Chain A
């Protein structure tokens, strides 16, 4: 570029680029531009639009400046007040810093409102800021449409009169008609237009809202926003109830004040006092939590931990299993899960269950526990509850292992191991004969042993290790490399079993702690293995009934496995109901200090045959009905009532199975 003739070159020492605005044209130029101002996260079009208080910024802070020249504060403990006045603004003539200090209250506002369900043109409306509810006042201003606004300010004395409804709204509306800033009567009246909030470029006007103002209240625990969080995000991320490994009782209040080891002896200590009031005495408030956050323990998977040691997995040297080997092991594992489930159930029914405590009907329901119970009762309850939960889990594992076998296109296995063990060439593990034994200390130790996770997570001599090896083989083995969907499906089952297995170990450890120090006579009411009661006796009839219910459950499973895969989930849920009849019979037996024999019934062969598939679920109940008839004809009223109860539960089972099947 040459100099124009006659035009002396400007001083080269002056930077010719400085005063210019350069428009970036290509991508690197655009990427280079840094614009000072509110962060990009506060652009309204990209915000999460959250203002309870706010994840990116608190939208409520916009409305503090709805009238130019004033900054309000809705969340003041007094009322909605004027926090700042721009001395150069229209209000600056009337208000001084001293006035602000003493307190300038917002009594009335007027703005354009849209009537819902009415005409679509906004109309001017007057609102009183009484009662002084911060969010309600803010909500009014929030809803103002663009257009004229007016505000009536006053001091404390007048505001007290406003609170007493001394000034009717119509009178104020009348005052607002002459739209001139002035003091009139007891009020300072100011007029203007509702702020636009955005500039022409669609960003929040930095002249209106100085940098920093938008983010002064945010969704952050450091600002005590647990209570302010209107969408319960923080509340939902803070646990209310946790479990603790070293307490005999399972459930603790996360916010409890007393954190000593002896604290959780009484079950009622952690509930709300006085039917719903926040318990200030026993529980920490939000401010306390933040001020004493270092007292809180880590909560991992719902359990408080004293320390957290991440598992150190060593790479395994175990050879991966082939498909065939996995199937072999699953066949054994199905029988083992079955056997464990029954052992656990027998142990459960050997406990002195209090008559009023029944197992939860659905997994998510809290167990019904008596309101008044002794410490011993509470401990037995804990032990029983944990044991039953594990038994139910084992039934689920039994189901999942069978679902895996079906996935492998193998026949399902309903049999029950005579020897609980993992014993394969090169992978010797434990071997214990299947035995029905009450929950003695020795039997409990066996339960703990069988559920113990292998320390290296892959000692296939343990149940946990076996499943882990199976999982690894599925995830990494060549036999499964081709079909990712199949891999995912199979892996999911095994992962669930492993996850629950880990939990079982902790549960049984808790059982042990709960029963620690109690003599067996204190908590057992069935003290021996099952002995067949005398023929014709009620006990014998109940034992036969229990066996028949057990058969029904297995028939129900058999029924389910013959159905189509897409129905199976619902059907299995329905099949679970077979448990209720077992429970009814076993509980009766337990009260008579007799154990249920859990005789393994004859089962139909697992090969799916078309004839069997067509049959309805009615036949599932066949083993039980004759038994119920015998109970009715026994001459004992309680047994007859039991029979009626069981009959209706049986009908529920078969009709649910049918309904799920045709659905």
Chain B
């Protein structure tokens, strides 16, 4: 028997109760007077005659895997090396377990060419710069960006750029460059100074936090890029998350995202099974604050929550957790292609190289194997089309340890969605008018050399 709980979920919100239909990620309000005593686990799907709401013949997601689509995005590991020594780093201080090395100009250009060759006509391309610390190879970044712009234009496409950086090496020139080329900049910073510097030591000493604040000062003085976000890695020993979020939002970032460590070279830094309940409660506390801010039309850009809300509003449903191996690949310093930036130098996720092309057969196999219908316990989980099966890197190294946490978080997000869409629908339908005039805190102006 197939439990109805694999196709339906009842979620309670301040408005009442809602029915989440897994097929199509559809949300319905249940009538108040419904005398529901559904114990979905014990109801057989066949008895439920789900046809009215999710007919077998019209399922939105079937077992067919995605065929490898044209590439749309590449991340370039400009520097497999780093000036910091964060213990939890998936990149093992940038070296990915190998030797430190820089990408060459030839490889970078070949990567751009490769992306263009394998992209769809007229596509909007995205090139990300990662590492290690990409600004260790800033000369190459300065060279590749105009090259990519020219090549993209010549091929009738547009290209945007992003960079993930620890922001400890940024100069005024760098800030100009990022603003001029409309970058999306993600700054890695874990919280207030003490916490941050404890988790993120600079090789050679000094305060990474102060360096980041200094960089923010440069942005304030010189000009902001297209988007300036903070990515905070949450460690189990880091304490409650809400103060971290508050602090980072107050620094003036356009958005702040929290990323709990699930996989780390040193397992002490990763959340253990026993920690997930607390993690869920912490994240929900952050989400609750963000929700109240939205209802009060105040800025509190907690990106995990905002992203979830919009996906739920649209009813996103997909059998994969992300685009890795599909339209997104990552390039290591030597030019080999991997499914994503976390899986650099992992031979099992190698997918061709920039000179001879992506390995389409390998990508196809990857997409066939990773379809959520073929994962356990995903295939019977109600959250499968929102979650997609979990990050390939995390699942590969550690398995699916955090499913309860994910489900708790998603349940909270669905309920929040119901409340916000009822009380402040403009947040979704007319976002440009939703907020009161911007009261985003200004970036700190002091510049610390």
Contact = CB atoms under 8 A, between A and B. Distances in A.
A9 B48 contact: no
Contacts of A161: none
B59 to A, nearest CB: 12
Interface in B12-51: 18-19, 21, 24-31, 34, 36-40, 42-44, 47-49
Contact of B18 (A15, A18, A25): A25
A22 interface: yes
A16 B37 CA distance: 8
Main SS class of interface, A: loop
A29 B24 CA distance: 8
Contacts of A7: 37
Contacts of B49: 15, 17-18
A28 interface: yes
A13 B28 contact: no
A25 B48 contact: no
B42 A26 contact: no
Interface size band for B = 20 to 34
Counting chain A CB atoms within 10 Å of each CB, the highest count among B19, B28, B38, B317 belongs to B28
Contact of A20 (B26, B30, B42, B317): B30
Contacts of B30: 20, 22
A28 B26 contact: yes
B409 interface: no
Interface residues of A, number: 25
Contacts of A16: 36-38, 43, 48
B29 A22 contact: yes
B366 to A, nearest CB: 27
A9 B43 CA distance: 11
B18 to A, nearest CB: 7
B43 A12 contact: yes
A164 interface: no
A21 interface: yes
A1 interface: yes
B418 interface: yes
Contact of B37 (A9, A13, A20): A9
Contacts of A10: 37
Given A4-B37, A20-B34, A27 B314 contact: yes
A23 interface: yes
Counting chain B CB atoms within 10 Å of each CB, the highest count among A15, A16, A26, A29 belongs to A26
Interface in B306-337: 312-315, 317
A12 B42 contact: yes
Given A15-B49, A17-B48, A18-B49, A27 B313 contact: yes
A67 to B, nearest CB: 37
Given A3-B37, A12-B47, A27-B313, A18 B24 contact: no
A482 to B, nearest CB: 14
A173 to B, nearest CB: 52
A24 interface: yes
A4 B38 CA distance: 11
Given A3-B37, A10-B37, A16-B36, A26 B421 contact: yes
A13 B29 CA distance: 23
B39 A29 contact: no
B290 interface: no
Nearest to B12: A1
Contacts of B315: 26-29, 31
A79 B317 CA distance: 60
Nearest to B21: A29
Given A1-B36, A18-B49, A24 B28 contact: yes
Contacts of B37: 1, 3-4, 7, 9-10, 16
A101 interface: no
B417 interface: yes
Contacts of B38: 1, 16
A21 B26 contact: no
Contact of B28 (A1, A4, A12, A22): A22
B187 to A, nearest CB: 32
Nearest to A16: B38
Contacts of A24: 26-28
B48 A20 contact: no
A102 interface: no
Contact of B27 (A4, A12, A26, A31): A26
B53 interface: yes
B367 interface: no
A18 to B, nearest CB: 7
Nearest to A24: B28
Contact of B317 (A1, A9, A22, A28): A28
Contact of A1 (B27, B39, B44, B47): B39
A32 interface: yes
A26 B25 contact: yes
B27 A25 contact: yes
A597 to B, nearest CB: 58
A22 B39 CA distance: 19
B430 interface: no
Nearest to A28: B315
Main SS class of interface, B: mixed
Contacts of B313: 26-27
Nearest to B18: A25
A98 interface: no
Counting chain A CB atoms within 10 Å of each CB, the highest count among B19, B21, B34, B37 belongs to B37
A356 interface: no
Interface in B206-240: none
A368 B194 CA distance: 99
B42 A29 contact: no
Nearest to A4: B37
B52 interface: yes
Nearest to A7: B37
A614 interface: no
B421 A28 contact: no
A22 B28 CA distance: 6
A178 B39 CA distance: 64
Interface in B258-311: none
B10 interface: yes
Nearest to B44: A12
B39 A3 contact: yes
A25 B10 contact: no
Contacts of B28: 22-25, 29
Given A16-B36, A17-B52, A18-B52, A26 B314 contact: yes
A13 B44 CA distance: 9
Nearest to A8: B37
Nearest to B48: A15
A24 B422 CA distance: 12
Contacts of A27: 313-315
Interface string A27-61: 11101100000000000000000000000000000
A7 B36 CA distance: 12
Contacts of B52: 17-18
Contacts of A25: 18, 27-29, 417-418, 421
A18 B53 CA distance: 10
Contacts of B19: 17, 22
Counting chain B CB atoms within 10 Å of each CB, the highest count among A1, A4, A10, A13 belongs to A1
A383 B242 CA distance: 92
Nearest to A9: B37
A4 B37 CA distance: 8
Interface of B: 10, 18-19, 21, 24-31, 34, 36-40, 42-44, 47-49, 52-53, 312-315, 317, 417-418, 421
Lowest 8 A-B CB distances belong to which pairs?
Answer: A28-B315, A29-B26, A22-B28, A23-B29, A25-B27, A28-B24, A26-B27, A15-B49
Given A16-B38, A26-B313, A27-B315, 20 more contacts: A1-B36, A10-B37, A15-B47, A15-B48, A15-B49, A16-B37, A16-B48, A17-B19, A17-B52, A18-B52, A22-B28, A23-B29, A23-B31, A25-B27, A26-B26, A26-B315, A28-B26, A28-B317, A29-B315, A32-B24
13 contacts: A1-B10, A1-B36, A17-B19, A18-B49, A18-B52, A22-B30, A22-B31, A24-B27, A25-B27, A25-B29, A26-B25, A26-B27, A29-B315
